[in-house]
Every structure is written in structure tokens, then in C-alpha cells.
Amino acid sequence: MFWRKTRAAIGRFHPAHQQLTMERTVSMSSPKSEWGAVLASLSQHETTVRRPKWRLPSRANTVLVPLIHVLSEDTKRNAPIGISADFRGADAPGKEGPKRDLPIKTRYIRKVTEWFTFDPWLQVRAELRDGSVLEIRVTDRTRHRKIHKVNARNKHKWKTRKKAVQRIDARRTLPGGMVPQRPATPPPGWIRVRIKDGKRITLNATAKLGQVPEEQDQLQTILFVLTELFRWTRPATPRRTA
């Protein structure tokens, strides 16, 4: 009976909210007005759905929701905001790479198997008010090693070690006529900025982090990388009003 009530409540959510609840993924490209409807639906989740099984992914609250608010403030009125988020985690099917055996350097280690998982959990595209196009991609990469050891008493042990790193790729395609300008101070060492000429100039910022940021720091890390793209152009001159 309680499941039927919960299922009926989820059925009244916005379709993107339902997908996020049931599948832990969401993919939508819509104007900010429609994203406002999604945010309104998400705000009802905690008071409507009590079962732990259907709680929202933590990154939905700490990253996705505040990021939608930030993008909505700087996008054109009817321009779409495209977001594809996958909060299933690195263990989801299709994210694991091939396994390989590493060379063994000591007689107490019988076998070392290594593999990587790649989790591109966030992709964003938004058209901003100044005419530029902003794109974001966040990927977590985890190295796994399974080690088979045998000690001097011929006792066998298996251990699995993990090391996760993160890559943030951000791109800003400038509107026609806007020219980049090198800022007074260089970017931090962990962010690389490249300028690509073409029909429209693009600024690319790549951040390689030695570890995945803490949950409460993830959004600020993404915004810090995005801010670097705007340091390379002059602020737009506000139009005079009569």
C-alpha cells in the first residue's frame, strides 16, 4: 500500500524528475522556464518520497540544482539549456574498461590485475546572454588494482585498491567580433587554457584534479574552472537606456 502511494506521488513529478528518481539519470534540453518547472518539482521530493530507495542522488542536490540556478541567470530568455547527468556511479554497466595483468616485481605477489572505470557524469550546454556558448563536461576516472599476495606462511590474500581522479573540460565559444585578452595573472597550474581560432574563437579550459573533490566542494570547483574562461575577455559594456 505504501509503495502504491509513493509510486502515485512520483507519477505526479515532472518527467525529468521522474527519470532522475527512477533511473538516476536525466537528459533534457529546454528553456530556463521549463527548467524552473523541474526545480519546483524537485523541491517537493524530500517531503513527498520517504523511502530511502528513491532518494535523490546526492549530486542532484549539491551540484545539479544550484548549477541550473546559476545557468538560468546568465542564459537568453528562450535559449535552451542542455543538461545530461548520470548519477548511477562508476560501477554502472558500460563504464568499465578492459582488464590487464601488470608485471610482478616481488615473489610475494602472485598477480596484479588493473582496470579503469570512466564516468562522464555531467555534460552541459547553454547559450549565454552575451552571445557566447558555454559547454561543460565532468568525468571521474578510477584506477582499480586487484592484488593477490602470498606471505611466507603460504597464506593467500586478495586486496583491491582504488584511486580516483577528475577531469573538467569547459569551452566557451565567443560571439562574432569578441576578441580574447590575456588576463593580468596566469591561471593556476592545475588549469590549462587554450585559444582556438576559427569562424568563432573558442576558449578551452581543462582542469585535471589529483582526486575527486568532496561533495560540498564539487560545484565551486566547476564554477572556478568556468570563471577562468571569462577572465580572458573584457566584460560586456552595458547598453544605455533612454
pLDDT digits (tens, 9 = 90+) for 144-188: 999 999 988 889 999 999 999 999 999 999 998 888 999 999 999
pTM of the model: 0.88
Residue 64 and residue 27 in contact, taking contact as beta carbons nearer than 8 Å:
no
Point out which residues pair with 86 in neighbouring strands: 25
pLDDT confidence tier of residue 105, bands split at 50, 70 and 90? confident
Rg (CA), the chain: 23
By three-state DSSP, how is residue 230 classified?
Answer: helix
DSSP one-letter string for 16-52: HHHHHHHHSEEEEEEEHHHHHHHHHHHTTHHHH---G
Q: What is the pLDDT of residues 28-71, one digit of tens each?
A: 999 999 999 999 999 999 888 888 888 999 999 999 999 999 99
The set of cell numbers assigned to 69 is 540556478
Residue type present at position 158: W
What percent of the chain is helix, strand and coil (3-state, nearest 5)? Answer: 30, 35, 35
CA distance 76 to 199: 22
pLDDT in tens, 192-239: 999 999 889 999 999 999 999 999 999 999 999 999 999 999 765 544
